[in-house]
């Protein structure tokens, strides 16, 4: 009995066969040739992250077609590999179509949510791959079709600070020479901090004070005495002392790190023999 003409007997994927033929016979009129490439992968992130607090990382990939044929339909795949102690979302590969004209690079951006799970330097590898979408398009140089950029994020330990111990309003006069700030030694779980912190191990030369925006750009002002004043500082309730040694700092001048509209001031620096970074903030009332 004959098979009806409209019935599918079998499905054959000829993609690889066509691609192999066109690579071997680039002068065939039914074949095209495009040298696709990934020219750059650039990851942009804040200066540091803080354990448990998500940050946004933006990755820009530049892909191009050097010809000779075009425009060429391409498939751009972007993947990310997170090292230990850090998580990223989305973590799955993303495939995006692109129509690449000869000599006109295309820039594709993608944002990721990254969260530090452990302190220290943590790595993320962002990889972009481009390939012709159509089987009849051959790429004479596949070596430039893939590029990886490694991002290293410094993951800081969250700590508790008390600006102007003894004052609930935490006033800051921008014309003053410095701002008194206590960085508190805490147990794991105290004030919601995930790790224990010994404020007496702070590396004084590393300390910077300012608004979150200023510190994220690498700015901020130092400890003006270039030393840590160990004392049992007032806790955040402005009444009690817990009998452990804290770090009392005098940071300034505040006019170089804050503006009147700021409502939060933070301390960023390093501690311990590692050293590892730390970061803590308090609400403030800034006056010009």
> Does residue 211 share a domain with residue 96?
no
> Domain limits at 266?
159-287
212: domain CATH number is: 2.60.40
Q: How many domains does the chain have?
A: 2
C-beta separation of 80 from 91 below 8 A: yes
> Does residue 103 share a domain with residue 184?
no
Which residues have CB under 8 Å from 56's CB, separation 6+?
A: 45, 111, 112, 113, 114
Please provide residue 255's backbone torsions phi and psi, each rounded to the nearest 5 degrees.
Answer: -60, -20
Q: Which helix (H) or strand (E) holds 18?
A: helix 15-24
CA 203 to chain centre: 24
Structure-block tokens of residue 212: 């979150």
> Does residue 228 share a domain with residue 140?
no
Q: What is the pLDDT of residue 38?
A: 98
Q: What is the pLDDT of residue 3?
A: 57
Q: Which of 135, 156, 177 is the last residue of a domain?
A: 156
CA distance 142 to 41: 17
C-beta separation of 234 from 252 below 8 A: no
> Does residue 196 share a domain with residue 83?
no
Count Cβ atoms below 10 Å from residue 67 Cβ, excluding itself.
16
Q: What is the pLDDT of residue 7?
A: 66
> Does residue 260 share a domain with residue 219?
yes
Q: What is the pLDDT of residue 288?
A: 80
Q: Given its phi and psi angles, is residue 157 left (phi above 0), alpha (psi -120 to 50 degrees) or beta? A: beta
Count Cβ atoms below 10 Å from residue 228 Cβ, excluding itself.
20
Does a cis peptide bond (omega within 30 degrees of 0) precede residue 133?
A: no
The tens place of each residue's pLDDT in the chain, 288 residues long, gives 555 666 665 565 555 666 677 767 766 676 899 999 999 999 999 999 999 999 999 999 999 999 999 999 999 999 999 999 999 999 999 999 999 999 999 999 999 999 999 999 999 999 999 999 999 999 999 999 999 999 999 999 999 999 999 999 999 999 999 999 999 999 999 999 999 999 999 999 999 999 999 999 999 999 999 999 999 999 999 999 999 999 999 999 999 999 999 999 999 999 998 889 999 999 999 998
CA distance 126 to 80: 5
186 within domain boundaries: yes
Distances (CA, A) of 137 to 50, 69, 77, 130, 141: 47, 9, 18, 13, 12
């Amino acid at each position: 009995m004959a098979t009806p003409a409209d019935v599918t007997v079998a499905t054959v994927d000829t993609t690889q066969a066509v691609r192999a033929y066109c690579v071997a016979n680039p002068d065939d009129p039914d074949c095209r040739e495009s040298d696709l490439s990934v020219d750059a992968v650039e990851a942009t992130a804040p200066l540091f992250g803080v354990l448990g607090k998500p940050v946004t990382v933006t990755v820009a990939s530049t892909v191009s077609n050097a010809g000779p044929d075009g425009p060429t339909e391409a498939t751009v795949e972007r993947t990310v590999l997170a090292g230990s102690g850090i998580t990223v979302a989305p973590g799955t590969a993303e495939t995006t179509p692109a129509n690449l004209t000869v000599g006109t690079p295309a820039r594709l951006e993608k944002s990721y949510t990254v969260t530090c799970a452990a302190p220290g330097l943590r790595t993320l590898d962002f990889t972009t791959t481009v390939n012709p979408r159509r089987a009849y398009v051959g790429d004479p140089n596949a070596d430039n079709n893939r590029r990886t950029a490694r991002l290293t994020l410094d993951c800081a330990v969250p700590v508790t600070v008390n600006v102007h111990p003894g004052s609930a309003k935490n006033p800051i006069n921008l014309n003053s020479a410095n701002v008194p700030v206590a960085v508190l030694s805490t147990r794991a779980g105290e004030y919601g901090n995930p790790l224990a912190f010994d404020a007496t191990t702070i590396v004084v030369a590393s300390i910077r004070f300012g608004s979150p925006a200023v510190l994220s750009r690498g700015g901020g002002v130092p400890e003006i005495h270039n030393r840590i004043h160990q004392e049992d500082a007032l806790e955040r309730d402005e009444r009690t002392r817990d009998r452990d040694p804290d770090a009392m700092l005098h940071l300034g001048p505040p006019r170089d790190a804050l503006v009147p509209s700021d409502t939060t001031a933070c301390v960023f620096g390093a501690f311990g023999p590692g050293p590892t970074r730390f970061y803590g903030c308090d609400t403030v009332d800034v006056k010009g």
